[in-house]
Structure 1
Amino acid sequence: MTFLPEASSFAGRVDGLFYAMLGLSTVVVLGVFTTMLVFAIRFRRGRHVDRSGESHRELGIEMVWTLVPFAMFLAIFVWSIRLWIVMRTPPANASTIHVVGKQWMWEFEHPDGQREIDTLHVATGQPIRLVMISQDVIHDVSIPAFRVKQDVLPGRYTQLWFTPTRTGTYNLFCAEYCGTDHSRMGGVVVVQTPAGHARWLASHASGSLADQGRMLFTRFGCAGCHDAGSSVHAPRLDGLYGSTVPLADGRQVLADERYLHDAITLPGSEVAAGYAPLMPSYKDRIDEADILALVAYLKVRGTDREIPHAAR
């Protein structure tokens, strides 16, 4: 029997929970079927035993067979919830990599602009946060060796995170049926040493994702409305990310990645207070990879992390 390698910080913990649940279920199944077998043999046809049906209630026995299994399964539930919370809470020092799923391929965008197709390079010991979205239908990122899996949805960001612990090449699958070539929508995760990964990043540098977004901001004409010198009455975008935005309908929303994405693709859904809904939708006009770059630029626009004017 060949077992999957444990290649992430989650793998051993997920396996421990699985084997504990398997063991507990085995104990319960054996207890139930052993009792059934004993009674089937004892009360088989032709056996001289008391069949009067007289009731003998033993409160202690009933309490034990009710409360003990309940306590064991409750312990499994608490264990799983705690692990689930950890697996859904990436650390502050996690490196964010953006993922776009489309029929039938995976695109990976590193913070410094390195772009990969169906292959993801990461380093051991470095927490990795994948921020994912689909170009078309529902996909699902599954990396069995890391014991992580997450749906990738159109029009909505989802995320997962992991910390690789072993160098090597590990399979990545789409675990949600997504069309004709679903079975071919796979890839690999290449886990390198920190030094080896640094060399790989340096050899594939192509400008940061935010820098790409700045160029797209100009190419798509966004500056014509949203720059300070514009004659169009449109919201200013400097320092927008992370702020609270009052809306025309009286609500207030946080300008997070989801808000910025929807402002580009569904601008009429959340109109900023004091502005008319004039912006056209860019949904289906630009692909999700470009939207990711635009969002990356808007996150740093007007901050000390914005691309210097000298570099433009």
Structure 2
Amino acid sequence: MWREWIPFWRPGLSPQSSDVDLLFTGLLIASALVLGLLFFLLALFCVRYRAGNQIDRGHRTSKSWHWEVSWTVASFICFLGLFVWGASVYFEMYRTPTDELVVFVVAKQWMWKTQHPGGQSEIDALHVPLRRPVRLVMASQDVIHSFYIPALRLKHDVVPGRYQDLELEIDKPGSYHLFCAEYCGTDHSGMIGEIVAMEPADFSRWLTQQAPSSPLADEGGALFRQLGCSGCHGKGSKVRAPPLEGLYGKPVPLSDGSSVVADDKYIRDSILLPRSQIVASYEPLMPSFAGKLSEDQLLRLVVYVKSLAGNRS
């Protein structure tokens, strides 16, 4: 590729890392050119209009519209091009492939807890297969954290009270550093981990060796029944509540006339803030579970509802 001819260029470890490096280099060059032009004009005006120089200083209030319009339009086009370039890289990084692997991440002071759909859990580590898109669904248990993988040029804040999505894909096997890039308390510097990229066959063996007690969906189903949710949302319930079978990924009409797609965020908000988005033709009877469930428990309930997507009553 033509990028290999760039001095000191190092290939990226993911499909987008080289694009991020190239964009960063472009921003540095553009900033250096603007800075160089600024210092050149400062030096030119200092020399030309110094006190001892005999130069015409009349018409100081007159405007040279052709110069001002020219440099304004040129600057606008230059920075608009940088914006379009950055936006294209952003949308490419956050596209949603169809065959992606979903992994859940819960940030706490001061650790990263990752959870695979099969029930396998890790602390301060994440094993992923090579050359397969992975979507991280991230939540914070306490304060703002930031999930940062320098080798992949990926960083995303993890904010309490909402889910954050991050797409990643790794092309080369190895172990890569994971940091928290947002100050989160006294032991912030110790909130580190590793991303382990493995060949697909090795990753499958690793999953088998972890021997989870049960899949997340099963644990979520048990919690669903333990909290009494099945008394309203289960089949044969005497309470009229929205059915959950086949819900995930479908549009949900709301009582205010709008609609929302039933994604991870909607399910989470429906558990914690059930009166914020009331389903059309249903009464707001569901109690709030805010402050009663941990992020780990919320995660299991969301996975359980997602597992009902293929079931219709």
Matched, 1:40 2:46: yes
Q: Could you tell me which amino acid in structure 2 is paired with residue 263 of structure 1?
A: S
Match of 1:183 in 2: 189
1:167 aligned residue (151, 164, 173): 173
Equivalent position of 2:58 in the other structure: 53
Question: Cα 1:300–1:31, aligned 2, differ >3 Å: closer, same or farther?
Answer: same
Q: CA deviation at 1:215?
A: 2.2
Alignment counterpart, residue 265 of structure 1, candidates 272, 280, 287: 272
Task: Tell me which residue corresponds to 1:308.
Answer: none
- Determine the C-alpha separation between the residues in 2 that align with 1:290 and 1:36: 61
Q: 1:233 aligns with which of 232, 240, 246?
A: 240
Matches within 5 A, 1:1-312: 6-47=12-53, 49-53=54-58, 64-206=70-212, 207-301=214-308, 303=310
Q: What is the TM-score when the length of structure 1 is the normalising length?
A: 0.86
* Alpha-carbon distance in structure 2 between the residues aligned to 1:243 and 1:161: 22
Describe the superposition over 1:42-64 as per-residue Cα deviations: whole angstroms up to 9, x where unpaired. Answer: 443434x3234368987765555
Q: Deviations over 1:158-209 (max 9, x none)?
A: 1111211222222212222223322222221112222322221221242432
- CA drift at 1:284: 2.1
Deviation larger for 114-123 or 171-180: 171-180
SS of 1:236's partner is coil
Cα separation, 1, equivalents of 2:81 and 2:259: 40
| Structure 1: stretches of 5+ with no match in the other structure | 306-312
Q: CA RMSD, aligned part only?
A: 2.7
CA distance in 1, matches of 2:83, 2:258: 37
In 1, distance between residues paired with 2:248 and 2:260?
11
Q: What secondary structure sits across from 2:41 in the alignment?
A: helix
Deviation at 1:230, TM superposition (A): 2.7
- Structure 2 unaligned blocks of 5 or more: 1-7
Conservation of the 8 A alpha-carbon contact between 2:245 and 2:311: no
Give the conservation status (yes or no) of the 8 Å contact 2:247–2:262. yes
Please report the TM-score for the alignment, with normalisation by the length of structure 2: 0.86
**8 A contact 1:4–1:145 mirrored in 2:** no
Which digits, 9 at most, give the CA deviation of each residue in 1:252-309, with x for residues without a partner? Answer: 333222221122222232333444333322222221112112111111226269xxxx
* Number of aligned residues: 303
2:4 maps to none
The answer (yes or no) to whether the contact 1:4–1:144 under 8 Å persists in 2 is no
Distance 2:55 2:274 in 1: 78
Counterpart AA for 2:88: R
| Kept after mapping to 1: 8 A contact 2:107/2:138 | yes
**Aligned partner of residue 274 in structure 2, secondary structure:** coil
Q: Match for 2:184: what amino acid?
A: C
C-alpha separation between the residues in 1 aligned to 2:309 and 2:29?
56
- Using the TM superposition, give the Cα deviation of residue 70 of structure 1 relative to its aligned residue in structure 2, in angstroms: 3.0
Rounded to whole Å, the distance in 2 between the matches of 1:248 and 1:263 is: 14
Per-residue deviation, residues 202-241 of structure 1 (Å, max 9, x unmatched): 2124243222222222232322332212333333222122
SS of equivalent to 2:310? coil
* Contact 2:246/2:311 (<8 A) preserved: no
Higher mean Cα deviation, 267-276 or 92-101?
A: 267-276
